[in-house]
Amino acid sequence: MILKNTSVKHKTNDDDNLIPLINIVFLMLIFFMVAGQIQPSDGVKVESPTSVSDTKLTPERLKVVIAEGGQIFIDGAQVRQETLGNRVSAYMQTLTAEQKENAAVVIKADGNLTVDSMQDYVKTIKTSGITHISLMTQSSEQASL
Amino acid sequence: MQLETLPQRRRKMISLTPLIDVVFILLLFFMLSSNFTRWHQINLQSATSSESQTPELRILKIESNQGELSFNGNRLSMNNADSIQKFVAENKQATIVITVVEGIKIQVMVNLLDQLKRAGATRVSLAGLAP
């Protein structure tokens, strides 16, 4: 009796058990697809400073990542300090005249980097002709309070 | 013949397991690659030249990573919200220029900016940092 019972249950249920599971997995999938943003990697781990700033990121921008040790990364590849100016100029070359006016560099620097070492990079970027320079920050829980 | 094939078709269903496999892989991909950090920015460029008058400048210097500040030789502390508030209230019309000594971390400077903003300062310049 018992043996018969279980075998019958198996046959009738089969995949039906899985439908609620799939429902939930689909919901999670949709959540992560809609709410998450996929970003290219920086090439290095950077802990950006947290801030209450609510200025939106400039849409047209070159992201310069500066790690805690002062290494520079652009598009995930390391750039030597001497060639940083060239890279920024090269970026400017790719823009049209209209875009050049709004061209911006966003610096994603580690919060533990010293301000004076960042100043050198800012100077280098400025001499290559970009005037809109900003510092990338992340909003923290503490900041949102 | 017909009678036999019809019920068979109804019974035959695509197994759900491969579907779940694929959906799980998609789910894993999106879970691992998505990023929920909300990014903002602080503009470093110097104040715009549109202001006709040159505003009064109040140079606030960060002295240490512990939050000691100095202004005209007076000592202030970033950890003391009241003193910041008082400083901002006294200098409502002026532009506060932030400068730093060597070795100050960016996070400390950003914290000061936040504090000044909370205290109601509207004109804060980082021009000294980006010469």
Taking an 8 Å cut-off on Cβ atoms, the answer to whether B129 and A114 are in contact is no
Q: How far apart are CA B23 and CA A41, in angstroms?
A: 24
Quick one: pLDDT at residue B130? 57
CA distance B101 to A115: 9
ipTM exceeds 0.85, yes or no: no
How far apart, in whole angstroms, are the C-alpha atoms of residue B131 and residue B117? 23
Tens-place pLDDT, residues B55-64: 677 788 888 8
| Per-window interface: B 101-130 vs A, CB < 8 A | 102-107, 109-110, 113-114, 117-118, 129-130
Q: What is the pLDDT of residue B54?
A: 64
d(CA B61, CA B111): 13
Q: In this structure, what token pair is assigned to residue A126?
A: 């400025």
Structure tokens at A52: 């209450």
Residues from chain B contacting residue A137 (CB–CB below 8 Å): 39-42, 110
Q: Which among B125, B131, B111, B104 is positioned nearest to B43, based on CA atoms?
A: B125
Residue-wise pLDDT tens digits, A91-112: 888 887 777 777 888 888 888 8
pLDDT tens digit string along A27-54? Answer: 999 998 888 888 777 878 888 888 887 8
Closest residue in B to A114 (Cα–Cα): B105
Share of chain A above pLDDT 70, in %: 86
pLDDT at B74 over 70: yes
